Amino acid sequence: MGRLIAISVLALAALAVTGCKTVKGLGQDIESVGQAGSDAIND
């Protein structure tokens, strides 16, 4: 569980730092965060 939280925090921080210029880019970023969380749960 701690690993999932750490991944989520890092992903959100990266999202905040890089920022998104388009709605499509934001959707892709959210999708990648979801995928990382899913991968962490399945590991």
Question: pLDDT by residue (tens digit) across 11-29?
Answer: 887 777 676 566 667 778 7
pLDDT reading at 35 higher than 80: yes
Angle (CA) 4 10 15, round 5° = 125
Long-range pairs, 8-16, Cβ under 8 A, ≥24:
8/33, 8/36, 8/37, 11/36
- C-alpha span between 1 and 19 (Å, rounded): 27
**Does the reported pTM lie above 0.85?**
no
Q: What is the pLDDT of residue 7?
A: 85
Exposure class string for 16-32: b at 16+ Cβ within 10 A, else e: eeeeeeeeeeeeebeee
Q: Mean pLDDT across the chain, nearest whole number?
A: 78
Boundaries of domain holding 27: 2-42
Grade residue 4 by pLDDT with cuts at 50, 70 and 90. confident
The mean pLDDT value for 22-41 works out to 79
